[in-house]
Structure 1
Amino acid sequence: MTYSGAVKVGGPAETHELPDVMISKVAVGPMNNNAYLLRCRATDEQLLIDAAAEPHTLLTLIGEDGIGSVVTTHRHGDHWGALREVVDATSATTYAGRYDAEGIPVPTQVLVEDGDTIRVGRVELTARHLVGHTPGSIALVYDDPHGHPHVFTGDCLFPGGVGNTHDDAAAFTSLINDVETKLFDALPDETWVYPGHGDDTTLGAERPHLAEWRERGW
């Protein structure tokens, strides 16, 4: 099946097959969250991004091989609703941004700073700290040596705009500044974007609208 990046709650996962890593995306309810399972082709080690909800769905996706780690992109409860059950079942190491870990009730074993590397087998992800949606949100960048980058943005970037900052002008300015400098200025148009909710996009599809987003303030 060709990967589309469009999945629905209750529907099947889709897998984006890259040369060194397989990225499986599944949607879970009740808030239509995306969870992403990365599997290193060389070692079969797995990492989960956002144990959002529906632990049975996530554990079925993970399968018998388990996971070595689970990364929570930010502190909001719809992104860690199944974290306790997943960690209890897999003994995975927990990662989260340093400034959001205190808001996640499952203890974070590895506090992530801007620029830190998180590994899944031989695959490396670079964490980028994006401030505004929450104080400690992180995005994860995979710079595919065989092609274009891929970035998991949590709730900081979606098709059509940045994440919700609840009419806080300072938070919005912080978030769009970080998204511009750490993602749009650093990565090419071909960069594939995997958001915390909804369909995938690319930086190239969103780049022409940055000024419009700034003007509208959300």
Structure 2
Amino acid sequence: MSDIRIDKVVTSGTFSLDGGTWDVDNNVWIVGDDESCVVIDAAHDADAINKAIGERRLTQILCTHGHDDHIDAVSDLVALRPEAKVSIHDADRMLWDRVISDAPDGALSDGQTIDIGGAQLTVLHTPGHSPGACCFLLAGEGQLFSGDTLFQGGPGATGRSFSDFDTIIDSIRAKLLTLPPETVVHTGHGDDTSIGAEAPHLQEWIDRGE
């Protein structure tokens, strides 16, 4: 194990898509060591995120996907931390462009590795909740940041535009349930879970549908 620390900030705001708006609480994850860190999903409250970062250098803002509740604090956080580079998967640019006028600094790709504090995050492209949805695996620490792809109790919602139930099931089966069962899953909303806790329920999710 390295000296990686994982901090969680819960922020509150709204999610809007397909003409509807819902109140939501989001998990913002700050991953790094005592010197530098990355933020996974800059949601709602840049000041709260910035406070949690503290004196560390923010190197990157990594977006699990482009829904507005996961990226609506990106611009404000970059204004506070101009050294930070922002990355999202290209397949979610149509969602990004609805919220943020500036282009992201980089594009995430499946298998890409991101160095943080002596450890590595690996990008897992897991489409379904959105076309460009990604998870981030901190393999050496047994930690997965799943965004809205996998929650305690099943896959993320697929009933809205740009989402597909069969695709998210395929992503979870191929990319996530193959991880060690003790892998801790840090979700985009709600409580943590583990691969071992969720894997036995795959057929139940399929039978249940979206």
Task: Report the TM-score when normalising by structure 2.
Answer: 0.87
Counterpart of 1:191? 183
Counterpart of 1:171? 164
- Contact 2:110–2:123, Cα closer than 8 Å, also in 1: yes
Query: Which residue of the other structure, out of 45, 50, 62, is the alignment partner of 1:54?
Result: 45
How many pairs are equivalent? Answer: 194
Gaps of 5+ in 2: 14-23
Separation (CA, whole Å) in 2 of partners of 1:100 and 1:167: 14
Counterpart of 1:159? 152
Of 170-179 and 83-92, the range deviating more from structure 2: 170-179
Q: CA deviation at 1:101?
A: 3.0
Give the 3 Å change call, closer, same or farther, for CA 82–160 of structure 1 in structure 2.
same
Q: CA deviation at 1:84?
A: 0.4
Per-residue CA deviations over 1:157-184 (Å, capped at 9, x if unaligned) read 000010100078x810111111111110
- SS of 1:75's equivalent? coil
Deviating runs (4+, > 2 A) in structure 1?
Answer: none
State the identity %: 35
Q: CA deviation at 1:19?
A: 3.5
- Contact 1:97–1:113, Cα closer than 8 Å, also in 2: yes
1:205-216 map, 5 Å: 205-216=197-208
Separation (CA, whole Å) in 1 of partners of 2:160 and 2:208: 11
Counterpart of 1:67? 58
- SS of 1:28's equivalent? strand
Task: Report the TM-score when normalising by structure 1.
Answer: 0.84
Counterpart of 2:9? 26
Separation (CA, whole Å) in 2 of partners of 1:174 and 1:65: 38
Counterpart of 2:20? none
Query: Which residue of the other structure, out of 183, 195, 201, is the alignment partner of 2:193?
Result: 201
Which structure has more strand as a fraction of its residues?
A: 2
- Contact 1:95–1:110, Cα closer than 8 Å, also in 2: yes
